[in-house]
Amino acid sequence: MVRSTSERVFGLGNGLFLVLFSLTILFPFVNLLAVSFTHGSSAYLSNVMLWPRPFSTKSYEALFADSSLFYGYYNTIFRTVVGTAATLMVLLCAAYPLSKKYLPHRTFYTSIFVFTIFFSGGLIPTYLLVRSLRLIDNRLVFILSELAPAFSLLIMRNFLMTIPAEIEDSARIDGANEFVVLFRIITPMCLPVIATIGLWSAVAHWNSWLDSLIYIRDQEKHVLQIWLRRIVVTATDTFTIEAEQAFDEAQLRPVRPETLNSAAIFVAIAPILAVYPFIQKYFVKGVIVGSLKG
């Protein structure tokens, strides 16, 4: 098919725009990564840079010397893995009956979930509820507080409504019960929406920090983002001095707040960035299909 001149010009302009837009997104990451690997004595820290000058790993060595990092990683990985799995299980079990037209009062039940999107109990009532459930200083608060997001429930419900009912009917004729139909027939067909909602849940759990700050008192149970907040937001000269004491005194300030903060940000976001490319292919399909039918 021969493209017209206007189509070629549009394609070229569109491609150029996307390239420039991608560079504006990647550039801050590259600059931050370069600063994190730069020696603290460098005079270029206040300037924009794309390559470490000079190269140094002292900031990362200082971070990994802090035992709080490993506690934070453990707690964050625990809440991300267990919380995402629990959320997907609960949402699947709740969305499946809500997707059936023969469910009595289906609209009423759905409206209850929609109501929670616009209105919530507030911070104080939520804290009182968590305390009454004896979840203060308990890692389960990370999972139960974000167990069933209403918006994700609606997306999964709408996706399930697009699956032909004849598939389930044929399985029931063969003797399958509701659990077999849901977990062995319907669930494999829901991989796009499961991957999409799983990504949302995983990112939300990985980035969450307020619930840890409010409900957790034991420092060893704090999540990684609390550790990151302590360094980036409330970084003090004391932390930098303590980190520097682990190195040769002959070196001139190998670690500075700028390099330490940059390294801390990458340590915190690297795992979730590594997971995203593997499920990105399901993302668009899951959102589009799950939003078509109401």
Number of H helices, E strands in the chain: 15, 0
Does residue 23 lie within any of the structural domains? no
Tell me, what's the pLDDT at 43? 53
Does residue 38 lie within any of the structural domains? no
Tell me, what's the pLDDT at 75? 92
Tell me, what's the pLDDT at 251? 46
Task: Give the domain range for residue 68.
Answer: 59-290
Q: Could you identify the residue written with the tokens 């200082």?
A: 62
Does residue 2 lie within any of the structural domains? no
Name the residue among 266, 246, 243, 252 with its Cα closest to residue 42: 252
Tell me, what's the pLDDT at 249? 42
Does residue 95 lie within any of the structural domains? yes
Low-confidence residues of the chain: pLDDT under 70 = 1-2, 41, 43-48, 234-254, 279-294
CA distance linking residue 228 with residue 230, whole number of Å:
5
Tell me, what's the pLDDT at 286? 52
Q: Number of folded domains in the chain?
A: 1
Tell me, what's the pLDDT at 132? 92
CATH number, domain of 176, equals: 1.10.3720.10
Tell me, what's the pLDDT at 3? 74
The CA angle 155-156-158, to the nearest 5 degrees, is: 65
Tell me, what's the pLDDT at 49? 73
141 and 159 Cβ atoms separated by less than 8 Å? no
Does residue 19 lie within any of the structural domains? no
Query: Going by C-beta distance under 8 Å and a sequence separation of 6 or more, which residues neighbour residue 209?
Result: 223, 225, 226, 228, 229
Does residue 11 lie within any of the structural domains? no
Tell me, what's the pLDDT at 2? 67
